[in-house]
Structure 1
């Protein structure tokens, strides 16, 4: 193992984030920067880079990029909070670190860590296309749901509609009647988090979530195509 390989997080990681939660101010942070680098920042960035490398190797045609969050909050949006985030995350997405399509993600805070896949910036049109695709081929989407279920306890997030959009059966209704779809797997400190094999484990878990990611990506690409066509028609009008 080289010095740049991921070696696992440690109890120090949780201890730092807990202390930061109660001491979220610049003097404390500046006095503990070495602790931040050692316990959180370096292993976190290493995990992100190695997970990206493994995903690119496994899926060379997906064109993945990584976006790593910074510990510093935007000074314009503190809203009475301290200047530092009490959690970090990274996302893997197609084509650009700043793309707005579906993402794989990993997150760590003072109490737990989690990973998953979802589309956090989905619009009402994304919801329309998602529901239409589920209606057109419910059996295929049910296979995607079952693949998620095989990974163990998970949380399905995304605000449910106050009035359901339809009934596609008890297994699919929780997915069908949401404004957006995101799946997360939440874990306590310890176990795989402290294991140097975590990048490989994330690769294996993201691989099993790839059918859901590709479904969400197809929805996103369809919405982009529709919007582009509408823009072209607005500029050039309908051609004879």
Structure 2
């Protein structure tokens, strides 16, 4: 009897089983002996990314963005790390124009056992120039930003905020500024976590797309501030 083909665009328990075993056996010998299991897990990842990319393309400018360009390698760069484990304990992809190296604010998804899977997006490790642009926007025109990140749907889907915060106010801003919390932010990255059960649902890719649609206005605002806004000419 022929084997029934797996549904496309979904993860199965196989992927989590592989990652759990990899966490316990993070060495090259084990990985090469279980290479076929990794290939199967990567195949599921590719299928999910294809489904997400197809849906995102309906409201994001993602022409010429290939699935392979969105997926991160599982190999870790251990050259400058004290942790010499050769492999990551998760699978991951990021979708932006051209893939994971778009250079813009994009959507990041990580698949990891134990309820550690998540969708995240936002300001992460900005350049000093971009951080200054963010703070200027908060100082001069905070209503648009707050209208996005304080909306009920946004807060319900993205309850976690990650990133470094200054203990004191940044230079040039008064300590009693009404937007003190936002101005002290060095990073403002929002996260939606998925349980393992949620990742294995047929609707997982659709939920990722729904989350991307919700956080898109925030990403659009950051991309405009950081990359698209034209510098006003200086008049003497």
Instruction: Answer whether contact 1:103 1:213 (CA < 8 A) is retained.
Output: yes
Which of 62, 79, 84 is equivalent to 2:82?
A: 79
Tell whether 2:141 aligns with 1:137. yes
Instruction: Answer whether contact 1:9 1:43 (CA < 8 A) is retained.
Output: yes
Report the TM-score when normalising by structure 1: 0.79
The match for 2:201 is 195
The match for 2:185 is 178
For these two proteins, the number of residue pairs brought into alignment is: 221
Cα shift at 1:73: 1.9
Q: Distance in 2 between matches of 1:150 and 1:64?
A: 32
Change (3 A) 1:188 1:168: farther
Structure 1: runs of 5+ lacking an equivalent? 230-237
Instruction: Answer whether contact 1:113 1:188 (CA < 8 A) is retained.
Output: yes
Cα RMSD over matched residues? 2.8
Tell whether 2:187 aligns with 1:161. no
The match for 2:101 is 98
The match for 2:19 is 17
Q: Distance in 2 between matches of 1:52 and 1:79?
A: 35
Answer 1 or 2: which has greater helix percent: 1
Q: Distance in 2 between matches of 1:158 and 1:203?
A: 23
Instruction: Answer whether contact 2:138 2:182 (CA < 8 A) is retained.
Output: no
Structure 2: runs of 5+ lacking an equivalent? none
Cα shift at 1:17: 1.3
Instruction: Answer whether contact 1:101 1:119 (CA < 8 A) is retained.
Output: no
Instruction: Answer whether contact 1:56 1:64 (CA < 8 A) is retained.
Output: no
Q: Distance in 1 between matches of 2:181 and 2:56?
A: 29
Instruction: Answer whether contact 2:78 2:85 (CA < 8 A) is retained.
Output: no
